[in-house]
Amino acid sequence: MPTWKSRGLRGSTLEELINRTNERYNELSLALIQKIPTPITPIQIDKSTRHITLAYFEQKSTVDYIGVVQGIPVCFDAKECAAETFALENIHPHQVEFMKTFEKQDGIAFFLIYYTGLNEFYYLPFRKLCEFWERAEKGGRKSFRHDELSEEYVIKSPGENGLLIPYLDALQKDLDAR
């Protein structure tokens, strides 16, 4: 079973940028998006600092964020990628199932990917992820390349109004494409 130490703090900077963006969207009355904490059970606690030093995850997480944008339910997961190839093993089958079910209920699911080597934020519509996922299930590539993605979903950062990762423009493109 994975533990807190084995996961490190991967993605913590990305999540902090998203959290700040979500706070700003809330201040502007554009969206209410909340970070979903992953339930953990502490195993070791440093008594001097009261910090958890070892823990295990109680259950599988679904997505990182969930909320509503102007009456539209949304959920998304944040991922970082150092290379220009994104391995699908970074996405778990239970996350894909959750997002499929979420979209069946008229919600919008997507991924925000930060390509660290390119210093680029990307909005990946769930339907596009499904294409890559199905390709892998049929024996094809178990990853997707950056050059397979549409440039229209690149997020220009920073945006106006103090938005660090202004992903709502890409969400609107996603909605328009449906």
What would the pLDDT profile of 101-123 be if each residue is shown by its tens digit?
999 999 999 999 999 999 999 99
Nearest partner of 79 among 158, 144, 161, judged by Cα: 144
What pTM does this model have?
A: 0.82
> How many C-beta atoms lie closer than 10 Å to residue 137's C-beta?
11
- List, for residues 139-178, the tens digit of each pLDDT value: 999 999 999 999 999 998 787 788 899 999 999 999 999 9
State the number of CA atoms in the 13 A half-sphere of 45 facing the CB: 8
Q: Where are the extended beta strands (E) located within the chain?
A: 31-35, 40-46, 51-57, 65-69, 72-81, 85-87, 108-115, 120-125, 143-145, 154-155
User: Cα–Cα distance between 125 and 9 in angstroms, integer?
Assistant: 25
Architecture (CATH level 2) of domain 4-176 = 3-Layer(aba) Sandwich (3.40)
6 pLDDT band, cuts 50/70/90, is: very low
Give the pLDDT score at 148: 96
Strand partners, 32: 68
> How many C-beta atoms lie closer than 10 Å to residue 66's C-beta?
19
User: Cα–Cα distance between 116 and 125 in angstroms, integer?
Assistant: 19
Binding residues for Mg(2+): 62, 64, 77, 95
**β-strand 72-81 against 85-87: which pairing, if any?**
unpaired
Give the pLDDT score at 55: 58
Look at residue 4 and tell me whether its pLDDT is greater than 70. Answer: no
pLDDT > 90: percent of the chain: 71
User: What average pLDDT does the structure give for the chain?
Assistant: 87
CB 144 within 8 A of CB 113: no
Look at residue 8 and tell me whether its pLDDT is greater than 60. Answer: no
- List, for residues 35-85, the tens digit of each pLDDT value: 987 666 666 777 788 776 765 555 566 899 999 999 999 999 999 999 999
pLDDT > 70: percent of the chain: 85
Binding residues: 62, 64, 77, 95
